[in-house]
């Protein structure tokens, strides 16, 4: 099979891009390849107006299913418009898919089978039941827009050894579970860290202040999200040169980065605390760790960008 050179993509938004937190991250990754965008989420027939000289990439979202009680009528309407978009694209030939916000993997089960065999699908939120397919790939949920830069985090951030806060956690605390345990352990052992508990998602600190505290912290506690391991906090920590501490008993990071990664991962928060305390006592080693992780993150973004773009090409 010969892949024809084609770096020009047209994004076809089957979801409202204004509601997608991942939009800026996606455009950042595809910044050298997207020639045009077309919104066809409210009027599915708009997809018929696509530029046929550009490789089409359909962007869909599982955001509706993240509502606690999505209505049956809303789900049916979404599925109907999605079927129309996919059918129209199948009529014209090849296309790719980017699937956002499907945290539980349930949205995928309703429509991936509608795509032609071999369609390249890139999705947020890894799930083991998609890992057997060679056509379904995962990429991180990524950082939000104000954290994005084409430069290395080290060019815009201070050395770990000069930062005033040894650790930070800013997010929602639940009555039980990993987050409460992590915060309580670190507060007792390293009380000079920065801690802020929000009442719910998007009800915490203003994003610029959140970024500022991350940028002045050595380590960032990165527990699981509400439904999934992948969180904005993890990638935003990396983007500010802050060292994330992760509990990953299900090896989720290895699904996103099968070639390996230097992100400190542990089986318990007690182990993470011991690790952090050890490095805080060794400034030179601490700065070397920060440099290693930040360099890897910069390189990984370039690799991910190339992989994402190269999988969307006309073939013959």
Q: Give the pLDDT mean for 70-88.
A: 94
Q: Give the pLDDT mean for 10-39.
A: 94
Per-residue pLDDT band for 6 (boundaries 50, 70, 90) equals very low
Residues 6+ apart with CB under 8 A from 221: 167, 168, 169, 182, 183, 186, 245, 269, 272
Does residue 61 sit in the same domain as residue 176?
no
pLDDT tens for residues 203-235? 678 999 999 999 999 999 998 876 677 889 999
Is the residue at 304 inside a domain? no
Is the residue at 195 inside a domain? yes
Q: What is the CA radius of gyration of the chain?
A: 21
Structural domains of the chain, count: 2
Does residue 151 sit in the same domain as residue 280?
yes
Does residue 192 sit in the same domain as residue 292?
yes
Whether the per-residue pLDDT at 79 is higher than 50: the answer is yes
Residues 6+ apart with CB under 8 A from 39: 13, 16, 17, 46
pLDDT value at residue 1: 31
pLDDT value at residue 185: 95
pLDDT value at residue 150: 67
pLDDT value at residue 132: 81
Whether the per-residue pLDDT at 3 is higher than 60: the answer is no
Does residue 277 sit in the same domain as residue 159?
yes
Does residue 258 sit in the same domain as residue 184?
yes
Whether the per-residue pLDDT at 5 is higher than 60: the answer is no
110, 139, 168 — which closes off a domain?
139
pLDDT tens for residues 112-142? 999 999 999 999 988 877 878 889 999 999 9
Q: Give the pLDDT mean for 234-241.
A: 95
Identify the weakest region by mean pLDDT among 60-69, 152-161, 258-267.
152-161
Which of 166, 177, 119 has its CA nearest to residue 280?
Answer: 166
Does residue 163 sit in the same domain as residue 280?
yes
Percent of the chain, pLDDT > 70? 92
* Cα 41 versus chain centre, distance: 22
Does residue 134 sit in the same domain as residue 246?
no
Is the residue at 1 inside a domain? no
Does residue 133 sit in the same domain as residue 205?
no
Does residue 195 sit in the same domain as residue 248?
yes
282 lies in which domain range? 145-298
Whether the per-residue pLDDT at 202 is higher than 50: the answer is yes
Distance CA 270, CA 277 (A): 11
Does residue 194 sit in the same domain as residue 73?
no
88, 119, 139 — which closes off a domain?
139
pLDDT tens for residues 285-311? 999 999 999 999 999 999 999 999 999
91, 121, 139 — which closes off a domain?
139
């Amino acid at each position: 099979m010969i892949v024809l050179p084609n770096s020009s993509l047209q994004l076809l938004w089957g979801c409202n891009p204004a509601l997608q937190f991942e939009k800026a991250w996606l455009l950042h990754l595809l910044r050298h390849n997207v020639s045009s965008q077309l919104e066809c989420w409210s009027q599915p027939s708009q997809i018929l107006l696509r530029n046929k000289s550009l490789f089409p990439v359909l962007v869909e979202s599982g955001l509706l299913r993240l509502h606690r009680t999505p209505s049956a009528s809303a789900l049916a309407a979404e599925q109907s418009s999605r079927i129309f978009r996919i059918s129209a694209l199948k009529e014209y030939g090849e296309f790719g898919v980017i699937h956002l916000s499907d945290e539980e993997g349930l949205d995928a089960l309703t429509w991936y089978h509608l795509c032609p065999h071999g369609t390249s699908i890139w999705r947020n939120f890894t799930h083991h039941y998609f890992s057997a397919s060679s056509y379904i790939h995962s990429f991180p949920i990524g950082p939000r827009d104000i954290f994005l830069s084409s430069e290395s985090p080290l060019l815009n951030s201070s050395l770990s050894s000069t930062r005033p806060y040894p650790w930070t956690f800013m997010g929602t605390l639940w009555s039980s579970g990993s987050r409460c345990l992590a915060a309580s352990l670190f507060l007792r052992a390293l009380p000079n860290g920065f801690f802020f508990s929000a009442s719910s998602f998007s009800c915490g600190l203003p994003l610029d202040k959140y970024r500022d505290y991350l940028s002045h912290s050595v380590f960032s506690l990165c527990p699981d999200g509400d439904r999934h391991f992948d969180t904005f906090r993890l990638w935003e920590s990396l983007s500010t040169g802050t060292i994330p501490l992760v509990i990953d008993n299900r090896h989720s990071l290895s699904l996103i980065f099968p070639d390996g990664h230097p992100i400190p991962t542990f089986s318990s928060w007690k182990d993470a605390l011991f690790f952090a305390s050890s490095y805080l006592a060794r400034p030179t080693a601490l700065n070397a760790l920060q440099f290693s992780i930040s360099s890897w993150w910069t390189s990984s973004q370039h690799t991910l960008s190339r992989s994402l773009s190269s999988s969307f090409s006309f073939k013959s």
